[in-house]
Amino acid sequence: MRHRPEAGGGSGGRPEESAPLVLLVDDERSIRTICRVNLEGDGLAVTEAADGAEALEVVRRARPSVVLLDVMMPGVDGWDVAEQLAADDETRAIPVVFLSARAAPEDRLRAQELGAVGYVVKPFDPLELAGIVRDVLERVARGEREQLNRELSEHE
């Protein structure tokens, strides 16, 4: 499901036409809704997927700037999605930030091994999500993707 409000001049929290596109992947509609509202309120464009298979379709069609990816989903889980994105030349450069209730060090390590640039543990403050996304996008643009990936293991 794609949700991109009409373009605005950056006022009223509406995303501008050139706003970074965030793909939000979570099987819980309530999580997607609250995250979408906060991300759009900060001027980011958002598209959603309710599961891993849909996420892979949306990535190939929409080419998001960043993927916020739940780990535990039925069918194709977040680990599988990240692995497939990393294995594809056309999608491996898209930064992935995991959103997960799994807080064990081995989960962060797995995210790191899959090339993720962030790991946010649920429950999290949805008001902070846009700042996390913008920080990731700015740091990736400055060539700090590998540093972001290394930092995952420092937050145990």
Domain count for the chain: 1
What is residue 152's DSSP assignment? G
> pLDDT band at 16, cuts 50/70/90?
low
By C-alpha distance, which of 92, 138, 99, 142 is closest to 115? 92
Laid out side by side, the sheet with 66-70 consists of 2-3, 45-49, 21-25, 66-70, 96-100, 118-121
* Containing structural domain, residue 148: 2-155
Q: What is the pTM of this model?
A: 0.86
**Residue 22 token pair:** 């965030």
pLDDT per residue as tens digits for the range 25-73: 999 999 999 999 999 999 999 999 999 999 999 999 999 999 999 999 9
Q: Which residues of 30-60 are buried (b: 16+ CB within 10 A; e: fewer)?
A: ebbeebbebbbebbbbbbbbbbbebbbebbe
**Residue 126 token pair:** 């949805």
Yes or no: say if 85 and 66 are a contact pair by the CB < 8 Å rule. Answer: no
pLDDT per residue as tens digits for the range 84-117: 999 999 999 999 999 999 989 999 999 999 999 9
Given this model, what pLDDT does residue 154 score? 75
By C-alpha distance, which of 57, 34, 40, 13 is closest to 130? 40
Given this model, what pLDDT does residue 149 score? 87
Cβ contacts of 122 within 8 Å, gap of 6 or more: 31, 99, 100, 101
What CATH number does the domain containing 145 carry? Answer: 3.40.50.2300
Q: Tell me what the pLDDT averaged over the chain comes to.
A: 89
Given this model, what pLDDT does residue 8 score? 34
**Residue 144 token pair:** 């700090």
